[in-house]
Amino acid sequence: MTRSTSRRDILLGAAALAGAATLPRAASADTKGRIVVGTWGGDYARLLNKNIEAPILIKDGWDVVQDQAGDPERRSKMLAEQRLPRGGSDVQGLSALNMFQMNDAGVVLPIDYGKLKNAGNLLPAMKYPYGVGQIYSGKVGVYNPKIITTAPVSYKDVFDPKHGNKLGIIDIQYQYTMVCAALAAGGKVNDLEPGKKLLMECKKAGMRIYPTNEAFAQGLKSEEFGTGVMWKARVVQWQNAGIPVSAVAPTEGALAYISGFVVPKNAPNKDGAYAYLDAMLEKSAQEAFAVDMGYNPTVANATVAPDLNQRIGFTPEEVKKLVDLDYDYMNKYDVEFKEWWDKELKS
Amino acid sequence: MTATTTFHADERPSSLLSASALVGPATAFVTLGLLAPMAILLRYSFNRFDPRRMMIETFSLDNYVKFFADPYYTGVLWTTLRVAALCTVACLIMGLPLAYVLARTQSRYKNVMIMLVVLPLFVGNAVRAAGWMTLFGTKGFLNVTLIQLGIIAAPMEMMFTEGAVVAGIIAVNLPYMVLTLQSVIEGINRNVEEAAFSLGAGPATMFRRVLLPLSLPGILAGTILTFILGMNAYATPVLLGGPKFKMMGPLVYGQFQLNNWPFGASAAFILMTATLGLTAAANILIQRRFRR
């Protein structure tokens, strides 16, 4: 008797547990569906939620879940999941170079722009066959006027060995730094050899290498060094934080940084993925990102206040001169560039 | 009713709680959670890197050859070994007297003292390293103090040096060494020390002939623990060593960031083999030395 009662109790308990486990699914059945978003963490993830997910998608009945991690981890995950019929995410936030890389690896879906009602507003340069640009900025020359009294106007002025240990670069930005140095040395985006030579000269003169963007900002603030290159959006954030730094768009053309989203081929909810892409191109979301993060909108109908635009934006001439990476070249030689950076430049 | 109190022969509690049943869950967990991924990673280390496809399945020792043929990578391994060994020796030298005092003290504040030793472990490695950064920076506490005291004229470069990394790792590993030694020394009867003194041994002789051999299991355990932690350090070398200082942990992670899983996997196995090999060799050598 005891045994049968016990068994009933167990069965009852198990049924209750199973029932409880289905509750979230039952709740999600009331929504349009779940969208899993692969993204970096920190401020960016918070702003995605604040400006895109909460006011547009969740309000519209979607259930949005963020899968936060660094992009190397998320790219590895996409590659590791490529054989699975259902992947772990519906959209992935990546830089333009990484979007190209993932497309090259054959793991992302070609974008059907016909499914995006906001596609008509998207700037042509932000419309990749395999991904959609969400925000952009450019690599500008930065300097502390107290230390560098003659304002640089070009990458050539920044990467000048005469600065000695007053020139600083960032370790994690090796790709963009090498391309900027190549442009400074008269090279091209698909020929970094002159840039390598110039960087070695700067190194001999005492150039400082900082591990992260934050350490670079700290060095600028403490006046350890006075000039370098950085995304204009980040410079605005530093200025807001009281770091004495000015920015100049280089005469060679600022190297563009574009961040966007791709849809993995095995995304479980492709309709949700397109809803996300459309929401991120909404005028309100694009304008909010310009205000909150200092990055430029990628849609033509977004309005940025003139004073803000002066700080984060580029003039029409500067926009025309924006330089994009040679994605194929960078992707092909990335490991070699990193090895050179680690073994030669940092040794 | 009787069914609840009567057991069949094959349902005896002793058989249900047999040794194999007790070790089963842990064994299954380790096999699934550690050995299986390691076996997969070992297989990857023989593959070839391809920028487009991440890796191409093959069976080649190229990644291992590349590591040992390149002075840069062998240099990183030597740096790692040097730093780990230095930190282990420093932890042992600093930890042994502290552990002895903690083990022998009769103070009512003993528990508080032990908590103070453990306190650094309540803070994560990255947060602790951030604390060191404020201490070592050009305008950090140390430099500012030394300049104000007139000891130095210009700030010293302390951040992004091997010294900063060694200091950071010692701070992380020292509590492990102290706690391991303290528990072993506490188990040594105080009377054997008194006996040595009563037979005419000085403190140094007593330490060398009595305390050291008896606390050897603790020394070995503490040394192994701190050496392994030192070899696999990641956050401290990255944050305090800066971009130019490389140890194996950050090197392995850097390869995975580049999607070069085959080379990253081979570097991981070289690190693991070096750590296990040296630990085992030191264990055997020390035990032989003190057995005589």
From chain A, pick out residues whose CB is under 8 angstroms from the CB of B49.
335
**Has residue B232 been placed in a domain?**
yes
User: Among the listed ranges A186-195, B12-21, B51-60, B194-203, which one has the minimum average pLDDT value?
Assistant: B12-21
Nearest CA in chain B to A225: B138
DSSP state of B208: I
Pair of tokens at residue B234: 């990641």
Domain that holds residue A30: 10-136+257-313
Q: Is residue A54 domain-shared with residue A200, that is, in the same domain?
A: no
Residue B56 lies in a domain: no
Quick one: A68 and A196 in the same domain?
no
Which is it for strands A255-262 and A208-210: parallel, antiparallel or unpaired? unpaired
Number of neighbouring beta carbons within 10 Å of residue B254? 17
For residue B238, being part of any structural domain is answered with yes
pTM of this prediction? Answer: 0.79
Domain housing B79: 62-291
Q: Yes or no: say if B206 and B193 are a contact pair by the CB < 8 Å rule.
A: yes
Contact A95, A101 (CB under 8 A): no
A166 and A205 in one domain? yes
pLDDT at B3 exceeding the cut of 90: no
pLDDT, position A1: 38
According to DSSP, the β-strands at B54-56 and A127-128 are unpaired
Do the Cβ atoms of A133 and A141 come closer than 8 Å? no
Report the length, in residues, of chain A. 347
State how far the alpha carbon of B194 is from the alpha carbons of A134, B198, B202, B206, in Å: 76, 6, 11, 9
Interface test with A, best of B258, B261, B263 (most A CBs within 10 A): B258
d(CA A1, CA A7): 10
CB A30 within 8 A of CB B30: no
* Residue B106 falls inside a structural domain: yes
Q: Considering Cα of A320, then A302, then A294, then A177, what sign does the dihedral take? A: negative
| Same domain membership, residue B70 and residue B36 | no
- In this structure, what token pair is assigned to residue A31? 């929504």
Q: Hey, is A220 helix, strand or coil?
A: helix
Residues A267 and A245 in one domain: no
* Rounded distance between C-alpha atoms, residue A296 and residue A310, angstroms: 11
| Beta strands at A62-68 and A168-170: parallel, antiparallel or unpaired | unpaired
Residue A72 lies in a domain: yes
* Spatial separation of the C-alpha atoms in residues A213 and B130, rounded to whole Å: 15
State whether B75 and B211 are in the same domain.
Answer: yes
Residue A234 shares a structural domain with residue A244: yes
Q: Which tokens hold the place of B235?
A: 């956050």
Residues B76 and B170 in one domain: yes
Is A2 part of any domain?
Answer: no
For β-strands A62-68 and A33-39, DSSP reports them as: parallel
Residues 6+ apart with CB under 8 A from A343: B72
- Written as one letter, the residue type at A136 is Y
Separation of alpha carbons A330 and B268, rounded Å? 26
Per-chain mean pLDDT for chain B: 88
Contacts A74 to B, Cβ<8 Å: none
Q: Is A16 among the domain residues?
A: yes
Closest CA to A127 of A302, A294, A258, A288: A258
Query: Are the C-beta atoms of residues A197 and A222 closer than 8 Å to each other?
Result: no
List pLDDT tens digits, range B131-154: 888 888 877 888 889 999 999 888
- CB of B261 within 8 Å of any CB in chain A? yes
Is A3 contained in some domain?
Answer: no
Distance from CA of B182 to the nearest CA of A (A): 39
A116 and A202 together in one domain? no
Instruction: State the ipTM, two decimals.
Output: 0.72
- Report pLDDT for A15: 58
Q: How far apart are CA B274 and CA B115, in angstroms?
A: 34
B57 part of a folded domain? no
Q: Does any CB of chain A come closer than 8 Å to the CB of residue B190?
A: no
C-alpha angle B61-A342-A165 in degrees, rounded to nearest 5: 170
- Are B36 and B76 in a shared domain? no
Q: Say if CB A38 and CB A73 are below 8 A apart.
A: no
Q: pLDDT 10s digit of each residue in chain A, 347 long?
A: 344 456 566 555 655 555 554 444 444 556 899 999 999 998 899 999 999 999 999 999 999 999 999 888 899 899 889 889 999 999 999 999 999 999 998 999 999 999 999 999 999 999 999 999 999 999 999 999 999 999 999 999 999 999 999 999 999 899 999 999 999 999 999 999 999 999 999 999 999 998 888 889 988 988 889 999 999 988 988 988 889 899 999 999 999 999 999 999 999 999 999 999 999 999 999 999 999 998 999 999 999 999 888 889 998 889 889 999 999 999 889 989 999 999 999 88
Please calculate the CA angle B224-B226-B232 and round it to the nearest 5 degrees.
Answer: 100
- pLDDT tier for residue B282 given thresholds of 50, 70 and 90: confident
pLDDT of B160 over the 90 cut: no
Q: Which residue has the tokens 């199973």?
A: A18
DSSP one-letter string for A24-68: HHHHHTTSSEEEEEEE--HHHHHHHIIIIIIIIIITTTEEEEEEE
Residue A23 is predicted with a pLDDT of 47
What's the confidence (pLDDT) of residue B10? 52
Q: Which of B11, B72, B236, B263 to mutate to test the interface with A (most CBs of A within 10 A)?
A: B72
Do both B157 and B229 map to the same domain? Answer: yes
With contact defined as beta carbons under 8 Å apart, do A139 and A152 qualify?
Answer: no
Whether residues A86 and A125 share a domain: the answer is yes
- A141 lies in the same domain as A125: no
Give chain A's domain count. Answer: 2
More confident site: B23 or A3: B23
CB atoms B139 and A222 under 8 Å: yes
In a domain, A212, yes or no: yes
* Cα–Cα distance measured from residue A339 to residue A203, given in angstroms and rounded to the nearest whole number: 16
Q: How far is B65 from chain A (nearest CA, A)?
A: 16
Give the pLDDT score at A7.
58
Count how many pairs of residues, chain A against chain B, have C-beta atoms within 8 Å. Answer: 58
Query: Is residue A5 a part of any domain in this protein?
Result: no
* Integer Cα distance of B94 and A261 in angstroms: 53
Name the domain count of chain B.
Answer: 2
Do residue A3 and residue B3 have CB atoms under 8 angstroms apart?
Answer: yes
CATH of the domain at A309: 3.40.190.10
Q: Do A2 and B54 touch (CB under 8 A)?
A: no
The whole-angstrom separation of Cα B122 and Cα B120 is 5
My answer on whether A109 and A198 are in the same domain is no
Average pLDDT of span B191-213? 93
CA distance between the termini of chain B:
65
**What is the Cα–Cα distance from A281 to A133, expressed in whole angstroms?**
9
Can you tell me whether residue A95 is helix, strand or coil? strand
Chain B nearest-CA residue for A346: B244
Tokens of A10: 């167990």
Reported in sequence order, the residue ranges of A211-254 that DSSP labels E, i.e. its strands, are 227-231, 246-248
Question: What b/e readout covers B30-56, taking b as 16+ CB neighbours within 10 angstroms?
Answer: eeeeeeeeeeebeebbbbebebeebbe
Q: Is residue A4 part of a domain?
A: no
Considering the domain architecture, whether residues B71 and B148 belong to the same structural domain is answered as yes
